[in-house]
Structures are given as C-alpha cells and as structure tokens.
Amino acid sequence: MDRHLTGKGLNFRPPGPQINLTRMLVWLGLIGVGIWGISQIGIGPEFRIQPMFLPTPTATRTANSYMMAAEAYFSAGKIDDPNDIDAIDAYRLGLELDPENAQARAELARLLTYSTRLLSTSASQLARLDEALIESTRAVELAPDDSTVQAIHALVLDWNASYANTADERRDLLTRAEQTASFAYNLDPDNVLALAYYAEVLLDQGKLAQAQQHAQEAVTLGPELMDTHRVYATVLETFGQYRVAIEEYEKAAAINPNLTFLYIQIGVIYRELQVYDVALEQFDKAIAINEANGVQDPLPYIAIAKTYSRMGEFFVAALNGEKALSFNPTDPNTYGQLGDIYVRSRNYEGAMPVLKCAVLGCTADENEVGEVDVVGLELNNLEVGFYYARYASVLAALSRPGQNYCPQVQPVLDELRRVFPDNPLLMGIVEENEAICRLIATTPQP
C-alpha cells in the first residue's frame, strides 16, 4: 500500500461494539457497596481491609528499568521522537540515576550516532555527533578495559570524521578511530562488534581490502547482529556490489525490523539501479514504521520526492517534498531539496525563493511555502555547495537587461570559489554563471 502522496485516499472506520451503560453502572454500584461494607467489619487489626480510595504509594523507577525500556524503544525503531519519550530519552533518564554506568553511556553514544541518519540537516547531525562523542569519551574514562565501550567509541570517532572541517581534522579523527578499534579488538578478539566497527573505520580510511576482510569475518562470526550486516553492506556498496549489499541490508533489517534508515538505504540503492517501484516500496516501509510510532520524519518523503524527480514526475515529487517540509518548516535542507525539484521541473520562478531560504535564509514574509523564518545553511559540505550553485544558476538564468539579479549572484559564487576551489564541477558552474552576468552587464538596457 502506498503511503506517500499520490492524490488518492479513502478512510473507513468499522462501528464499535455496543455497551449497556445502565447495567454496567448497576453492577459497579453493587460491587462498591459490598467492598465498603467489608472494609467496616472489625475482624482483627492484622486482617482489617484498608478503606477505599487511600493514596497508593509511588513506585521509584530504577535505572535498570530505563535501560530495558531504551532497548525496547530501539528494537521498535523509536530512537528519536521529538513528541514522546524514545530510546535516547530512556538512556538519559537511566543515567541520571546511575551516572557511572559506562555500558549505558556507550549504548547512548551508539544510539546518538545512529540517530544522525534520522536528521535532515548537517547542523543537527553535527550537534548529535558532538553529544555522542562526549558520552563515548566518558564511557571510556569509566571503563577503559571494556572492549565494547572502546569499540563504540571508535564508531563515534569514525562518524565524526565525516563532518570534519578540514582534511587534517578528518585524518586525525580516523587515526584515533583506527587506534581505538584496534585496541578494542585486542582487548577481546571474540568481540564481533569491535571487528565490525574496525572494518568501517578501515573503509573510511580507504583501506578497502582490509575493510572487506574484517567486515566479512565479522558477519561470519556474528550473523545475529544488525551491526555486522550493516557494516558489510556498506563495504559491499562501496565496491559497487549492489545486489549483495541489498541482501546484507535486508538481513540487518530482519534483525531490527523497525530501523527506518535501513529501508531508506535499501531504497537509495534500488533508485541508483533505476528500479524505482521497489525503491518507493522501501521508502513506504519507513513511513509505515514512523506512523506506527507516531514519528514525523521528513526523510522518507525527501527520498520519495527525489525518486519521482528521477522518474520525471515532478508534480508528485513536489507534493512529497512539500509534505516533508510540513514536518519541519524551518529546516533549510528540505528547502534545498524542494528547490532542486523545482529546478528539475523548470519551475525557476518557484525555485528562486525556496533556494534563497536554503542558502541565505528568509523571513516568514519571504517564505511562500513554509511561511516561517528560516536560517540558511552553512556552506560546509558538498551537498550544500550544490544548493548554492543551484541558487546562483537560477538567479543568473532569470536575469536580463532591466531585471538583473547578478548583483545577488556574485556573492554566492564568491563563497563557492572560497570553499570549493578544487572542485571542477562547482568551479565550472561558477565560471558559467559569471560569464552570463558579464554578458548581461554589456547588453544595452531596453
């Protein structure tokens, strides 16, 4: 069943069972009178029944109960829900009662790291990874000889490296991640989780042969763990072995069937293979899980919008992009995605204000879609770089003598040249738009 926006929908609700309210009230009254009468009978103080409606004692919740709840929430796929308690919340509450629990801190760090796959902006992802690093560092301080604690710390360092501001910072984080993963494995060679995370670090370092060897060994020794299949799938995907990668992601999803980012990744691979109908089915699975948990997550709708855009169905793509935006109308990344869809459908006039919100930010009056203030994206990764390039290209394309947007174009191009001077694709876009603006500047006004 399609859960994304297609323009059709029906809703049927079966009638509920009928209740005889009068009979129920009579029975409740008789029961209440009987219990009251018994409570007044003096049959010895040690056997006296307590009167009704006394306040009940409040149970004190233990740290362990919160940890168990966190594991249950994680299994249910309820990792990060802004509207209700989730796995991350449960770990935090448990740690308030037991702050020296290194294993719980490490598991919280692991969840915080994985939850970045559920966030749509690089700023929120980076903030979440910063928090994960704080928790995993503290866990290592509390239990330096715990192999799993060290392994999770390696995972957190590795994922933080993806958001490093400079090449030197990224290299340093990956070096620390490799050292930590190696230490975790040496502490306990039977710790399959340590072996899997070691493989992921090696993959990000470009040591592909070693990464594949470690990942394959991890999945062989720990086929019951979601993480081993996820890591092996990531390695296979890097090697372009998409069919086998899908099988490994599916095995991971079979172990933890409510983790939406697994289905989204499967769908992304099918989209790359141009098997669009299966890709959409995977994204719909993610939506169904979110609906069951009451989670409003824009990412599956963004993935669906991109898929329909690839298919050339721009109207449906825009509908799903706008649905994603409705969940979080202040998210500049979603404006960038929506603006890209508008550009692909040649709706340049519609794309210009939307991309402005993504790149420079906008006020509620300027925001024709979300009608709220939006803070623009910081130019700190390649995806944002292409939003900048799209915005500059739209402004240049709509410029003409008498309606010249080029004064707004040049500052955006200057930023691209400053941040990505060695990217040939972006620099080609910069030079092309500068040429357009030079031509307009030399064209006589009408």
CA-nearest of 108, 99, 106 to 63 is 99
The mean per-residue pLDDT over the stretch 45-61 comes to: 46
The total number of residues shown for the chain amounts to 446
CA-nearest of 104, 103, 101, 165 to 130 is 165
Confidence of residue 328 (pLDDT cuts 50, 70, 90): confident
- Residue that is written with structure tokens 């069919």 in the block: 243
Cα separation values, 397 from 46, 318, 325, 376, 386, Å: 90, 21, 26, 22, 16
Confidence of residue 11 (pLDDT cuts 50, 70, 90): very low
- Residue that is written with structure tokens 């960038």 in the block: 336
Is the predicted pLDDT of residue 239 greater than 90, yes or no? yes
Is the predicted pLDDT of residue 45 greater than 50, yes or no? no
Under 8 Å between Cβ of 323 and 300: no
Q: Tell me what pLDDT residue 274 has.
A: 95
Q: Tell me what pLDDT residue 85 has.
A: 84
Confidence of residue 15 (pLDDT cuts 50, 70, 90): very low
Is the predicted pLDDT of residue 39 greater than 70, yes or no? no
pLDDT digits (tens, 9 = 90+) for 406-435: 899 999 999 999 999 989 999 999 999 999
Please tell me which residue, 6 or 348, carries the higher pLDDT value.
348
290 — phi, psi (to 5°)?
Answer: -60, -40
Alpha-carbon distance of 141 to 118, in angstroms, equals 28
pLDDT digits (tens, 9 = 90+) for 172-218: 999 999 999 999 999 999 999 999 999 999 999 999 999 999 999 99
Q: Tell me what pLDDT residue 369 has.
A: 87
Q: Which stretch, 14-18, 161-165, 310-314, 344-348, has highest mean pLDDT?
A: 310-314
Among left, alpha and beta (phi > 0; psi -120 to 50; other), residue 371 is left
Q: Which stretch, 76-80, 353-357, 439-443, has highest mean pLDDT?
A: 353-357
Please tell me which residue, 297 or 365, carries the higher pLDDT value.
365
**Which residues are within 8 A (CB) of 156 and not within 5 positions of it... i.e. 6 or more apart?**
109, 110, 112, 113, 129, 132, 133, 136
CA-nearest of 266, 263, 323, 268 to 289 is 263
Alpha-carbon distance of 355 to 216, in angstroms, equals 43
Please tell me which residue, 370 or 7, carries the higher pLDDT value.
370
**Residue 214, SS3?**
helix
Q: Tell me what pLDDT residue 384 has.
A: 87
pLDDT digits (tens, 9 = 90+) for 100-151: 999 999 999 999 999 888 876 677 888 999 999 999 999 999 999 999 999 9
**Residue 398, SS3?**
helix
Q: Tell me what pLDDT residue 42 has.
A: 43
Greatest Cα pair distance, the chain, in angstroms, is 108
Is the predicted pLDDT of residue 35 greater than 60, yes or no? no
Q: Tell me what pLDDT residue 430 has.
A: 93
Under 8 Å between Cβ of 378 and 123: yes
Q: Tell me what pLDDT residue 6 has.
A: 65
Q: Which spans in 273-405 are helix H?
A: 276-293, 299-311, 314-327, 332-344, 348-359, 382-398
| 1-22 as b/e: b if 16+ CB within 10 A | eebbbeeeeeeeeeeeeeeeee
- Residue that is written with structure tokens 């307590």 in the block: 50
Cα separation values, 374 from 357, 359, 360, Å: 6, 10, 9
Query: How many alpha carbons lie under 13 Å from residue 378 in its C-beta half-sphere?
Result: 8
Q: Which stretch, 3-7, 29-33, 394-398, has highest mean pLDDT?
A: 394-398
The mean per-residue pLDDT over the stretch 248-260 comes to: 93
Confidence of residue 1 (pLDDT cuts 50, 70, 90): low
**Residue 365, SS3?**
coil
Give just the sign of the alpha carbon dihedral 271, 275, 277, 282.
negative
The mean per-residue pLDDT over the stretch 150-179 comes to: 92
Is the predicted pLDDT of residue 268 greater than 60, yes or no? yes
Q: Tell me what pLDDT residue 244 has.
A: 96
- Output DSSP code: residue 375: E
Is the predicted pLDDT of residue 162 greater than 90, yes or no? no
Q: What is the mean pLDDT of the chain?
A: 85
Under 8 Å between Cβ of 156 and 113: yes
**Which residues are within 8 A (CB) of 63 and not within 5 positions of it... i.e. 6 or more apart?**
94, 95, 97, 98, 101, 104
CA-nearest of 141, 158, 240 to 197 is 158
Is the predicted pLDDT of residue 54 greater than 50, yes or no? no
Q: Tell me what pLDDT residue 13 has.
A: 39
Alpha-carbon distance of 282 to 270, in angstroms, equals 9
Chain centre distance of CA 119: 3
